[in-house]
Structure 1
Amino acid sequence: MTTSPSSAAKKAQEALGLRLRSLRLDAGLTARQLADGTGWHFTRISKIENGVQRPTDADIRTWCAVCATDAEAPDLIAQARSIESMYMEFRHRSRTGLKQLMRSPVPLYERTAQFRIYEHNVIPGLFQTAGYIRAMLPFWFSFLGVRNDLEESVAARLERQSVLYDGSKTFSVVLEEACLRTPLGDTETLSAQLDRLLSIMSLPNVSLGIIPALTVRDVIGSAGFWIFDDNLVKLETPTASIEVSQPQEIDLYAKMFDHLRGWAVYGRDARQLILRIQGELV
């Protein structure tokens, strides 16, 4: 079952409260002593620590100053800011169709210089053909209960791909072999999509690695994720887009990406793998 956005935000707020409580305890302060130091009523301390009230940026800076942990403030502020925005519900953003949802990442793409992308079961949107997009979108109109604007949505997603040809941007992409074998649409659609991958690999700013299905490893990526520079990580669930902006968490995703990349094959080996799978479709 997918965790609802409101429930997820509540849990994130509670986690923030626990971190702030740990800072207070590590500083050897009671709630009343912290309240005295901040000039707040002591009940406010309790509300923040128990996830009932979300602290402002200024609250966090004050809290850290009283606890003599100023260095923790930037990371805590990033965590607090992500609580309200971490879940953007697809249904709310796509009531009039999916076209606007397809266009929404464009500003983020335009300001990002380094893309790191890991997908475990689907071709990334930046690489998808029109046929592949047409095969995968119809389900979502029905599932989300939104207006069917298929052709407009396909066009909007294809327009996003123009960033691939911006030489100032780099794209490091790791795909599980399963991405190449999921037959969205018919075999002809998948074969054309594999042709598209072979073409994309020739771009000088794109590094495309594939993890073969039988690779012996110590971990499997549980979800696809995109890292935008060192500023943001995005993941998608069936009903929401999750945004991670906390620096420590972004570092962990980057570490996971590097780990997964170590098992991927590149260049000639990757091309041979794609061609072999394509040959099996005949």
Structure 2
Amino acid sequence: MSRDSGKMSTDDSDKMLDQLIQNCHHLKQQLAEKSRLVESKKIDDNRRRILRILQQRCLEKFRKEVDTLRKQDSALESCSSFLNSHICEIESNLIDTDEQILSSKFMPASRDRDSRIDILLADKYRYVAQLHKECQKVERQIVELEANFQKSKQVYVEKICSAALIVSDDFKSDIGDWIDAKFEYEKNRLKMKFIDQMKDDLKTDKDIVNQNYAKLRYKMYDVDRITNAMRSKHAQIVTDLTAAKNGVVSIKNQIDNVRGKIKVCQEMNDQTKLRLLSVKNFDKISTKQTFFVKI
């Protein structure tokens, strides 16, 4: 019994030893897993730290790029100022054309008047076409600016990706989308600032031209009516002036007759004066002769 008991206790000891070895092996595996997890956590922490650093650098570089875009924006604004001055010149030409059209409506109805109005309206549409051409210039400049945006963005993305080789492709994609959104915002802001305003101004000018053309054509009927009335009145005035002229001629003839009579009267008066003077001289001579006779 004692031998069997001793043998059983040895077997139990072996089993316990095996169990302890298995437990140690399991604990070793758990320790290795925990060490791996700790190391992975350190790597993740380092990766997050690197991501924050890269994000900060991206923000700084993006601010520089935004400053460059603002400089380009100011250059585009100076170009817009020059364009506005050119547009003011075109608008002054439009105003001059309107004044010429308004002055032409008082001309007598004729082919020359209609052709002149058509020429002035053609000039007006030509000025509007020039305005549209200037707007197209602005659109081309914005397209060039957009190309510069894309070029700067590509260079910027390459720099960031070259600095972000240690991070995953997902981070590169996120950074690229983030940059695309920023550049798209700046690009759309400039487009909304210039293109839409120019198109609205151009549409307003076209509507004004069409309205003025319709008003002018409508007023032409009144101009024709007033012109015909003025012509009939002019004919009546010519008739009255002819009658007045004939009356003046008659009065002038009467005045000439009166002047002839006055001249005859003056001649008779002169003859009468001469006769009176001769009579006075005769009386003086007679008086002297009587005096000498008395002596």
Settle same-fold status: TM greater than 0.5: no
Quick check: which has more Rg, 1 or 2? 2
Normalised TM-score (structure 2): 0.19
TM value normalised by structure 1: 0.20
Give 1 or 2: higher strand fraction.
1
Higher helix residue share: 2
